A = this chain, B = another copy of it.
Amino acid sequence: MNSLAEKINKMLVAKDSQDSLTQVNVKGCVIGGEQIVVIAGPCAIESEDWLKETAFKVRGAGAAMLRGGAFKPRTSPYSFQGLGEEGLITLAKIGEAMNMPVITEVMDSEDIPVVSEYSDILQVGARNMHNFSLLKKLGQIDKPVLLKRGMAATVEEWLLAAEYILAGGNNQVVLCERGTRSAEKWTRNTLDLSAAALAKELTHLPVIVDPSHGTGVRSLVAPMAKAAIAAGADGLIVEVHPHPERALSDGEQSLTPRQFSILMREIEPIGKVMGRRVR
């Protein structure tokens, strides 16, 4: 383990490589500061009405940022692939109207310009954590990046993926633990909170946790969200859908706006114990 620590210590992501911890400013919303930043919204942008309804409600409950997928990485070519640029336009419009920064996924280096135009921070999904061409190009843009851990990536590989972006000159990187693949059948993934704690210990980057993909089970989102904050996470990204049973993807793990509102109330006192505020 010592040799791993030594390796990380020579990297740009290493905690000791900077005098202070990195704070990532997403259009005024600071990740890695005093506030625990909660990002909420649907898995995929499906309609303007539903997105507006969701945004209105999650903002009311205390969400700091709005999520929504326009380019969707789907296992099957026959599944709903997202609305593409049309979805981006909708997302940006609602974010503007609600005064919330927005986040969406970029799946291909060719799409960096269009996603950058509409999104305030670019998400690299778990399936692209090892897409080194994409990472290199994201190192050269002037927008923050949220980097999800690959579903079978080690912590070292995850930090090296972030290093690709920092080495390119962009140090506005947020790490996101979203669960790893395992043999467990009950949950969709196995959320590895020790990876989040380790990333906090080793690097100067903010670290958030995705309890929705991390478990794939609605009833586990709240306990894992609370656990993530107790483990030291700087934020959460949570799937919320006004009508989960009709969602085109990930309905099983999406909270209703009402459930999200309860979640926000539950994490607030845990945040306070950790010296953080949620709103």
Contacts and interface: CB of A to CB of B under 8 A. Distances in A.
- Copies of this chain, complex-wide, total 4
Contacts of A182: 180, 182-183, 190, 192
Interface in A178-199: 180-187, 190-195, 197-198
A260 interface: no
Contacts of A215: 194
Interface residues of A, number: 68
Given A154-B183, A226-B231, A230-B230, A127 B131 contact: yes
Interface string A253-274: 0000000000000000110010
Given A155-B186, A156-B185, A182-B182, A107 B128 contact: no
Interface string A192-208: 11110110110000000
Interface of A: 1, 4, 71, 73-78, 107-111, 127-128, 130-134, 136, 151-152, 154-157, 160, 163-164, 167, 180-187, 190-195, 197-198, 200-201, 214-215, 217, 219-220, 223-224, 226-232, 252, 269-270, 273
13 contacts: A1-B186, A73-B132, A75-B157, A77-B132, A77-B167, A110-B110, A154-B186, A155-B184, A182-B183, A190-B194, A193-B224, A226-B230, A227-B230
